[in-house]
Copies of this chain bind each other. A is one copy, B any other.
Amino acid sequence: MTTTKTGKKKQPKAKATSKFSKKRGKAPGTVTYVGTREKQVAEVQIVAYNEQEQRSYKPHTLEEIINFKKSGHISWIDIAGLSDEQYIEQLGKQLNLNPLILEDTVNVNQRPKIDEYDDYIFGVFKMLYLDKNDKIVTEHMAMVLVEDAVLVFQEEPLDDVFDGVRERIRTKTGRVRFAGADYLFFALLDAIVDNYFIILESIQEQIEGLEEEVYDNPVPDVAKRIQALKKEVMRLRRLIFPVREMIVRLIETENPLIKKETKLFLRDVLDHATEINETLQIYREMSMSLMEMYMSNMSNKMNEVMKVLTIMASIFIPLTFIAGIYGMNFDHMPELHTENGYFVVWGVMISLFVGMLFYFKRKGWL
């Protein structure tokens, strides 16, 4: 039994090590992917558009990417596959990006943040969505806003979170085709934040499900799941909470990359982020209440159990005593020899029984 436990204890160590330790001791600015997805070649997709036209293509060389600068289009460059460290490092060099940024781009443990540089604004976000089994999937991503382009780095090529934006560019819906790269940056950020609401819904469903089970069937497994939910909410808060502060910084920045018109729209995302944070706060309190409720229902069950025991014992122990009395073998026990003694005793016992029932009824225990 000890071996199994030790075995279990070692396992998380291994996992933890992979999470924190891969980069330890390396020089700052080293581009090391520390995520769990398997190694793959980066896949690049460019959407270039202006008011007149838009096209989407896969570039074959780095140069093709860099060329966006002179194209007269707004370019949305999507690089999927953060494990391709070399590719990302080269691309970064070509675009004059700070190595620290590239490091954060591939570091899936990096918390959400905004860093402003002279020529670009760098943001790390967590894309959250539900997989087919309604599990919450966390995807690390980074966005770089440069003049006339937004670079998006993500772990997986597939991504329906941005489909709405892609569609709006293609169909010339809304403002995106008429605005600059900063509006695209906003639109993508807006899509990410909007998706958080789906996650909140999923949490709310879980809370509501647990609420019902707490009342109907407070088994230990429910407590376990409440605790798991609390941990999930804690984890989400950590991934989502910083976003609000980041948007505030984008709104307050004096960096010319973000135009005044776009800030009005950022204020709108800010509202959403604020609402999400408040909702998470409420979920936190609700999951605490769930545990409280669980404990109170447990006490309840205990009370019920105790009542059954008390009623059974209180009724039958005295009756058994009476029966015991007349089971004694004394030579001289006058009652034993009376004609109706036995029936009188039955009468007494039935009266006691009924009296007890009545007493417990009045106490509200029945």
Residues on B with beta carbons closer than 8 Å to the beta carbon of A320: 316-317, 320-321, 324
Chain A 115-147, CB-CB to B under 8 Å as 1, else 0, gives 100000000000000000000000000000000
A341 to B20, CA, bound (A): 73
Interface residues of A in 148-205 (CB under 8 A from B): 163-164, 167-168, 173-176, 187, 190-191, 194-195, 197-198, 200-201, 204-205
User: DSSP majority for the A interface?
Assistant: helix
Residues on B with beta carbons closer than 8 Å to the beta carbon of A330: 326, 335-336, 341-342, 345
Chain A 302-332, CB-CB to B under 8 Å as 1, else 0, gives 1101111110111011111101111111111
Q: Is the CB of A271 within 8 A of B333?
A: no
Query: Shortest distance in angstroms between A168's beta carbon and chain B's nearest beta carbon?
Result: 5
Q: Is the CB of B231 within 8 A of A224?
A: no
Query: Shortest distance in angstroms between A178's beta carbon and chain B's nearest beta carbon?
Result: 11
Q: Is the CB of B163 within 8 A of A25?
A: yes
Chain A 292-305, CB-CB to B under 8 Å as 1, else 0, gives 11111111111101
The residue from B13, B164, B209, B297 contacting A220, defined by CB atoms under 8 A apart = B297
A28 to B268, CA, bound (A): 8
Quick check: is A285 within 8 A (CB to CB) of the other chain?
yes
Closest to A332 in B: B342
Quick check: is A50 within 8 A (CB to CB) of the other chain?
no
Query: Shortest distance in angstroms between A35's beta carbon and chain B's nearest beta carbon?
Result: 16
Q: Which of A77-85, A88-96, A248-256, A274-282 contacts B (4 or more CB under 8 A)?
A: A274-282
A345 to B318, CA, bound (A): 17
Quick check: is A358 within 8 A (CB to CB) of the other chain?
no
Quick check: is A47 within 8 A (CB to CB) of the other chain?
no
Residues on B with beta carbons closer than 8 Å to the beta carbon of A329: 326-329, 333, 336
Residues on B with beta carbons closer than 8 Å to the beta carbon of A115: 267
The residue from B25, B173, B317, B328 contacting A327, defined by CB atoms under 8 A apart = B328
Residues on B with beta carbons closer than 8 Å to the beta carbon of A163: 25
Known contacts A317-B317, A327-B329; A298/B303 CB under 8 A: yes
Residues on B with beta carbons closer than 8 Å to the beta carbon of A198: 20-21, 24
A145 to B111, CA, bound (A): 30
A interface residues (Cβ-Cβ under 8 A, vs B):
5, 8-9, 12-13, 16-17, 19-21, 23-30, 98, 100, 103-104, 109-111, 113, 115, 163-164, 167-168, 173-176, 187, 190-191, 194-195, 197-198, 200-201, 204-205, 208-209, 212, 215, 217, 220, 223-224, 227, 230-231, 234, 238, 264-265, 267-268, 271, 274-275, 278, 282, 285-286, 289, 291-303, 305-310, 312-314, 316-321, 323-333, 335-337, 339-342, 345, 364-365
